[in-house]
Amino acid sequence: MYGASLTKTVFAYTVMQLVDVGKLKLDTPIAADLDRPLPSYGPDPLLVKKYAPYQDLTGDSRWKQITPRMCLTHSAGFANFWFLEPDHKLRIHFEPGTRYSYSGDGLMLLQFAIEHGRKTQGLGLAVGDLTNAIFKRLGMTRTSLVWRTDFAPNDADGWNDQGQVEEHNHSSRVRAVGSMDTTVSDLSKFVAALVRGEGLSAASRTEISKRQLHIATAHQFPVLLPDLPAAAQRPDLYAGLGVVVFDGPQGHGFYKGGHDSGTANTMVCIEAGQRCALVLSNDVRSEAGFAELIRFLLGDTGVPYDWEYGDYAGKS
């Protein structure tokens, strides 16, 4: 199965392991991890292809403010992806750290810092190698952030909203935003480890599902929506690190979706009792049944599907 944006949660867990060993600090600007200014990396076509055209940030010094925490809480200031901008340019739309707006480019910047950061600080690490070590430790033998040929006999193509087949994408590049292939059995092992805090310090596990940044928009997509009036905002809706957190009838919880034109995934965890549900679907039309299915599996949780999906067929 295609993991889609559930990859982002795996990446956040990976980042917190680096925080635990002192190779990253959540609130130290990424600028401090690089050998030279971020815009100077942009002209390299290979880096642009994998990450983003960082040369577009020349003249906007706000990139120097962006921290790992901002990347993981979708508050770095970018749109979702630079190639979706009308002029195909990377830009910062608001003061970093001040509001939530879903951004794959923010997480890709953090991946860039890990992979191209200063080796004297313990960076210059391949994210794929880091995640593979996690998968091995958890016994996730059928999971990878790049396509493996041994997956082919069980390759699940997808179905779009018109009932047409969408071929499974075979990613050749590690992308923290969504290149993971997995199985429901494998990924359940990760979700169980995440909710229990296995492999992380207590402090890092707390950070993941902590109320980091209030989310004040009506929906997750389209990105860069204006904030609702204060009285209309959901007061319990916050960004965690690589997840969205909320409070419902069963107390504090966190969740993450994963979506493309032929994929619909959801993960919901309730902290009390460490109870979770994970659904992977290769038919995007299944999203319409997620709220009812999660209610059947976990009871009334208050998971904010109305905010995530709304009336917009977004990319999560």
User: What whole-number distance in Å separates Cα of residue 241 and Cα of residue 193?
Assistant: 16
pLDDT of residue 311: 54
Whether the Cβ atoms of residue 74 and residue 81 lie closer than 8 Å to each other: no
What is the DSSP pairing of strand 165-166 with strand 158-159?
Answer: antiparallel
Residue 312, pLDDT score: 40
Per DSSP (E only), the strands in 98-181 are 158-159, 165-166
Domain with CATH 3.40.710.10 in the chain: 145-308
Q: What integer is the mean pLDDT of 5-14? A: 98
Which helix (H) or strand (E) segment holds residue 123: the answer is none
pLDDT digits (tens, 9 = 90+) for 100-158: 999 999 999 999 999 999 999 999 999 999 999 999 999 999 999 999 999 999 999 99
pLDDT of residue 313: 39
Task: Give 127: exposed, middle or buried? Use CB within 10 Å, 0-12, 13-18, 19+.
Answer: buried
Q: What is the pLDDT of residue 202?
A: 98
d(CA 104, CA 126): 18
CATH classification for the domain delimited by 145-308, as one of 3.20.20.70, 3.40.50.970, 3.30.230.10, 3.40.710.10: 3.40.710.10
Cis bond upstream, residue 222 (ω within 30): yes
Angle, vertex CA 43, rays to CA 40 and CA 44, nearest 5 = 105
- Mind listing the pLDDT tens digit for each residue in 76-87? 999 999 999 999
275 and 188 in contact (C-beta within 8 Å)? no
pLDDT digits (tens, 9 = 90+) for 249-288: 999 999 999 999 999 999 999 999 999 999 999 999 999 9
Q: Give the model's pLDDT for residue 229.
A: 98
Q: Cα(100)–Cα(14) distance, rounded to whole angstroms?
A: 22
Which pLDDT tens digit goes with each residue over 22-70?
A: 999 999 999 999 999 999 998 999 999 999 999 999 999 999 999 999 9
Q: Cα dihedral sign for 312, 10, 129, 121?
A: positive
- Name the one residue in this structure whose structure tokens are 């200014």: 37
pLDDT at 310: 79
